[in-house]
Amino acid sequence: MKRLILTLVVLTTFILNARSQSENFRAFKVDFSLGYASPANSGSGAGSSSGGVSFTLHPHYRLSDQFAVGLRVDAALLGYSTYDAVSNTFSASQIASLTSYALTGEYYLMDGGFRPFIGAGAGVFSQSSIQVLDANGSTIVNGTLLESKIGVFPEVGFEVGHFRVSGDYNFLPNKAGYLGVKMGFFFGGGRKDGGGSSRGQRKGRGGKYLNWEG
C-alpha cells in the first residue's frame, strides 16, 4: 500500500508540473481494450477461481506530451468454483461481475513511435455475483449481491501507433482484487502532423516559392 501511495504522489507531482497542453500529440483520445482478468485467489483448493474477461473504455486528455489524465470504465466477468474437499469435486460455480469507474493518470516515458508508460488510478468498484451451477450440473439462482468498494491500481503498458497493451492490478478489500492484461486500440491522440504529413515549397508563377503542407 505504501508503494501505491508513493506512486500516486509521484503522478500528482507530474500533474502539477505538466504544461498546459500537448505540443506534439492531439490532446483527446479514447481507448477500447479487451483482456484477461485473473482474480486474486486464483489457484487450486477451496474457493479457487478460473479467471475471466474484461472490457475497458478509457477516454484521456493529455495535459502535456508526457502526461494524460483519464476516466477508466472497466467491466470484468470472473468465474469462481467452490471446491468440496470431501468428494474431491467442484460443488458449485459462480460468476462475479465487477464494474468500475476510476480516475487515472499516465506518464509516457518516450515520445517516439514506441511509447511505454506507467500510471495509477483510484475509483469505485461495484460487485455483483450469482451462483449458476450446483454439483449436479443444475442451474440455480440464489440472487445477486451488489456491493461498492474503493479500489486503487498501478498500471504499466505501451502504445505503438494506435495500438495499446497494458497491465494493471486492482487492489480491493477482502481479497477481491484482480489482475488485468489488456490489448486494444484508441481513437484520437495521434501526432498532430498525422504521422504522414509533409511540408515543403513549390515554385509558383513568377518564380516565387510557395509554402505547402500535405
Q: Rounded to whole angstroms, how far apart are CA atoms 150 and 72?
A: 14
Whether residue 185 contacts residue 157, with contact meaning beta carbons closer than 8 Å, is answered with no
pTM: 0.70
The C-alpha atoms of residue 202 and residue 43 are separated, in whole angstroms, by: 67
**Cα 206 to Cα 186: distance, rounded to the nearest angstrom:** 46
For residue 98, the Cα-to-chain-centroid distance in whole angstroms is: 14
% of the chain with per-residue pLDDT over 90? 43
pLDDT of residue 14: 56
24, 26, 32, 35: CA torsion to nearest 10: 20
Considering only the top CATH level, what class is 2-213? mainly beta
Confidence (pLDDT) at 17: 57
Digit-coded pLDDT (tens) for 104-146 = 999 999 988 899 999 999 999 998 876 655 555 555 555 555 6
Mean pLDDT of the chain: 77
